[in-house]
Amino acid sequence: MWMTPKRSKMEVDESRGFRSEWTQRYLVVEPTEGEGALCLVCRRVVVAASEPDVRQHYEAEHGYYERYVSEGEREALVERLRRGDLPEAAPLTPEERAARAGLVVARLLALKGRGWGEGDFVYRCMEVMLRDVLPDHVSVLNGVDLSPEITRQRVLDIHENLRSQLFNRAKDFKAFSLALDDQAFVAYENYLLVFVRGVGHDLVVQEELLTIINLTHYFSVGALMAAILEALQTAGLSLQRMVGLTTTHTLRMIGENSGLVSYMREKAVSPNCWNVIHYSGFLHLELLSSYDLDVNQVINAVSEWIVLIKTRGVRRPEFQALLTESESEHGERVNGRCLNNWLRRGKTLKLIFSLRKKIKTFLVSIGATTIHFTDKQWLCDFGFLVDIMDHLRELSVLLRVSKVFAAAAFDHICTFEVKLNLLQRHIEENNLTHFAALREVTDELKEHLKEDEKIFEPGRYQVVICRLQKEFERHFKDLKFIKKDLELFANPFSFKTEYAPISVKVELTKLQANTNLWNEYRTKDLGQFYAGLSAESYPIIKGVACKVASLFDSSEICEKAFSYLTRNQHTLSQPLTDEQLHALFRIATTEIEPRWDDLVRGRNEPNP
């Protein structure tokens, strides 16, 4: 599952090599010819020999063999498979194959955000197609039940299967972090999405949805804390193994005396004297930062324009790109909050800014107000907001790249803070090199203003940039606190021993003097390098690696949930129980493959 920072093309290729520990774990061996991993069960070669591919093949095709749990059982199983003695699972009956097909369709419906009742429509489509193409095979559909009640239950069964697999893996987490997102929902109720990122002894990262908490049932932070602790306990996770906490920067999360973060840090006592590392800028970076940057309510005015375009300008060719972009995000119909969130993205604002003259012409044609287009200050604020949000968008894109570790994400944050310093100086000097939209506005205004008339006040925007700088410093100060740990993790061979903590100096000196380890570091990615590092010889460095690897390095899984919700807001706004909503979001965000045969035969791993 690692997609870690690569240092050269050669390393990208070599990092996908076969690993001996996969034999017992996934029942594969290194093929005698060619690359990849040869499955001992089905004798197929998994061509892309990276761990996610091998694991996906094993879990999707051979989950039956998970019943061989102990090390002795696995060794005996591997020997039997090597001899060709295959302990086959009983073949599925026709009824079970029909049930499996129904489960797969139910999962597809959930992934696409379709309602329970659409299973019947899918059934009718398949029936029509078979009657025309394969009339002799129409009878195969007789045992397939896609009724709303059955589809609903199958989605819940898949959810329980995935949840059981997550809990089973969570037992092996050496360290984990949580991400708490209370800003994703645009439906009729507010929820808190709780994600977990954990690593085991082999440093394989697992990012999954842990639970969804209905905030209407938990009014106090104490009650919310109790619900999170209950979810952790159910998953078999102890707060003593929690290393990091990523949140939004709402008062509910980071209130100085009554925020959830304060409560959790008091409860959590991390091993080896690590305090829980908290950072609150990853999640919905553009959305939440825009509220601090929008000094003249630009978004509100632009929102009114979009509503008019959607109601009275849908046929105009000049707006088709804008409407297509809107519909791809949240469908043809959209509620106010979802529209507002979409407009707070740098990409969207930039597109609307490029259409501003056509929008003005449209507003005049329908008799709507165009007062903003004659307001010099508002136009400059619009241009500035477009520019600064575009810079934030670039950072947000970098922070969506997962499995690169917090060290790489921290580098992006530090680089952006340097960029803010540069923007601050440029604004002070009236240098608009990095403010393309504001420069375009000022050039247009110069044509209509007197030569000595001032177009905009630099101090106005300096204040905004300074506010953003302070917010970044506040949101990521804990990452700066562990800067040495991040640097040590990312570059153990170039890290100067005199700057290392006393407890790690001996191990670091020994590591840097080991030529074999240096060669491994050069030819493997970070995840594989630390996975192969001896815990006996380098216990402290290995421990630091586990903790750093468990920190959330991107907002990818949160963005995946947010995107799923905005695309399917109308389906998710229908009456759903908390369990049903939880099931849909787990299926939409998981990387785990359901164990179909276990589902068909009614087998699930028992919950802790």
pLDDT the model gives residue 272: 45
- The answer to whether residues 568 and 113 touch, using CB atoms and an 8 Å cutoff, is yes
pLDDT the model gives residue 607: 47
Token code pair at residue 417: 């803070």
What are the C-alpha distances in Å from 570 to residues 38, 331, 334, 527? 45, 9, 9, 41
DSSP secondary structure code for residue 37 in this structure: E
Mean pLDDT to the nearest integer, 311-336: 70
**Nearest residue to 175 (alpha-carbon basis) of 268, 52, 66:** 268
Q: Express each pLDDT in 127-183 by its tens digit.
A: 999 999 988 888 888 888 899 999 999 999 999 999 999 998 898 899 999 999 987
pLDDT the model gives residue 596: 86
Q: Residue 512: pLDDT band by 50, 70, 90 thresholds? A: very high
pLDDT the model gives residue 606: 45
Q: What residues does 45 pair with on adjacent strands?
A: 38
At residue 412, φ and ψ (nearest 5 deg) are -65, -40
> Lowest-confidence range among 21-30, 87-96, 353-362, 592-601?
87-96
What single-letter amino acid sits at 282?
F
Q: Is pLDDT at 8 greater than 70 in this prediction?
A: no
Q: Which residue has the higher pLDDT, 243 or 566?
A: 243
Cα atoms found within 13 Å of the Cα of residue 360, Cβ hemisphere only:
10
Mean pLDDT to the nearest integer, 581-593: 93
Q: Which residue has the higher pLDDT, 11 or 369?
A: 369
Cα atoms found within 13 Å of the Cα of residue 433, Cβ hemisphere only:
9
Place of tokens 């324009």: 305
What are the C-alpha distances in Å from 71 to residues 19, 20, 85, 199? 18, 15, 19, 20
Q: How far apart are CA 511 and CA 515, in angstroms?
A: 9
Give DSSP secondary structure letters for 369-389: --GGGG-HHHHHHHHHHHHHH
- The answer to whether residues 282 and 404 touch, using CB atoms and an 8 Å cutoff, is no
Q: Virtual CA dihedral for 391, 392, 398, 400, nearest 10 degrees?
A: -150
At residue 316, φ and ψ (nearest 5 deg) are -75, 125
Q: Give the percent of the chain with pLDDT over 90.
A: 30
What are the C-alpha distances in Å from 188 to residues 28, 152, 560, 575, 587? 48, 21, 20, 9, 21
Mean pLDDT to the nearest integer, 437-462: 84
Angle at 553 between CA 552 and CA 557, to 5 degrees: 70
Place of tokens 């697992």: 206
Q: How far apart are CA 33 and CA 41, in angstroms?
A: 18
Q: Residue 57: pLDDT band by 50, 70, 90 thresholds? A: confident
What single-letter amino acid sits at 569?
Q
pLDDT the model gives residue 10: 32
Q: How far apart are CA 225 and CA 215, in angstroms?
A: 11
Q: Is pLDDT at 582 greater than 70 in this prediction?
A: yes
Place of tokens 């059934």: 123
Q: How far apart are CA 52 and CA 66, in angstroms?
A: 17
pLDDT the model gives residue 25: 83
Q: Residue 347: pLDDT band by 50, 70, 90 thresholds? A: confident
Q: How far apart are CA 283 and CA 167, in angstroms?
A: 25
CATH topology (fold) of 172-284+559-601: Nucleotidyltransferase; domain 5 (3.30.420)
**What is the overall mean pLDDT for the chain?**
83
Angle at 563 between CA 478 and CA 309, to 5 degrees: 120
> 347: buried, middle or exposed (CB in 10 Å: 19+, 13-18, 0-12)?
middle
> 404: buried, middle or exposed (CB in 10 Å: 19+, 13-18, 0-12)?
buried
What are the C-alpha distances in Å from 362 to residues 319, 351, 477? 10, 16, 47
Count of Cβ atoms closer than 10 Å to residue 149 Cβ: 11
Mean pLDDT to the nearest integer, 226-251: 90
Token code pair at residue 424: 């601050």
DSSP secondary structure code for residue 117 in this structure: T
pTM exceeding 0.85: no
Q: How far apart are CA 149 and CA 119, in angstroms?
A: 10
Q: How far apart are CA 554 and CA 552, in angstroms?
A: 6
**Top mean-pLDDT range of 1-15, 19-33, 294-308, 515-529:** 515-529
At residue 310, φ and ψ (nearest 5 deg) are -70, -30
Domain boundaries defined on the chain = 20-83, 94-155, 172-284+559-601, 287-478, 491-550
Strand extents, DSSP E, 41-158: 45-46
pLDDT the model gives residue 251: 79
Mean pLDDT to the nearest integer, 368-386: 90
